[in-house]
A and B are shown apart, each in its own frame.
Chain A
């Protein structure tokens, strides 16, 4: 029932990476939240970071700052 919206989605190599990135973003007031990994990215189980669309560079900076290498970054409708 939820209306789909455009988001930047980050998939991680491990659940620990996903949780650590959430902590990092929250501590810096960066917008976004953890969500279940969208099926469009993978049928597997996992957590993904969902951020507002548009600022791919800012998102990459955050990942670099956290020292986390993402598995995928994709802008998509979820």
Chain B
């Protein structure tokens, strides 16, 4: 018995659900080929097949074309189950890329070196083709939007290019920098949490 299941264009977890139905219809040993258009589906279908004891192979046929092949055993087909890890669907990006600067140093170790590295990081950030949507500064990160002129200038360039630069108001207050903000906006914990919860990628140097 051979069957080909076309799941091109189907959103996760539909390829897995349809594949499970197709497996259940196998009354004799055979081959099930599933056509999908993304790697997540390949991985999920592989987990589905292996979880049920089938040999699974996959091949990429094009930029967005994959074939997953399962050697289905009829003895296991009727009782096929879907493991939780086979319905792992990537969460679609909502809030974009967020850079979190929680200190005025980059990495642990020597503080003086860490400060230089952070300045270099922010400089290099301005030269990226793909910019973050937001830069969030808190704790000693508040010094980056207030005290260091080079970094302030770099952050101004990012802001001019459409990046939202946010600094924690509590932190500005704590360090006596409330009147010293030179770039971006004062933010609160709700905005800071919301930006990170909704982010598709958080970069924390």
Which residues of A line the B interface, CB within 8 A? 1-2, 15, 18-19, 22, 33-36, 47
Contact = CB atoms under 8 A, between A and B. Distances in A.
B20 interface: no
Contacts of B119: 33-34
Contacts of A34: 116, 119-120
Interface string B105-133: 00000001100100111011011110100
Interface in B59-97: none
Contacts, number: 31
Interface residues of B, number: 16
A2 B116 contact: no
A47 B116 contact: yes
Given A34-B119, A35-B123, A2 B113 contact: no
Interface of B: 112-113, 116, 119-121, 123-124, 126-129, 131, 150, 157, 161
B152 to A, nearest CB: 12
Contacts of A36: 120-121, 123-124
Contacts of B128: 1
B150 A1 contact: no
Nearest to B157: A2
Of A19, A22, A33, most B-chain CB atoms within 10 Å: A33
A19 B116 CA distance: 8
Contact of B126 (A1, A15, A19, A22): A1
Contacts of A33: 119, 123, 150
A2 B127 contact: yes
Contacts of B157: 1-2
Given A2-B126, A19-B112, A36-B121, 19 more contacts: A1-B126, A1-B128, A1-B129, A1-B161, A2-B127, A2-B157, A15-B113, A15-B116, A22-B116, A33-B119, A33-B123, A33-B150, A34-B119, A34-B120, A36-B120, A36-B123, A36-B124, A47-B116, A47-B120
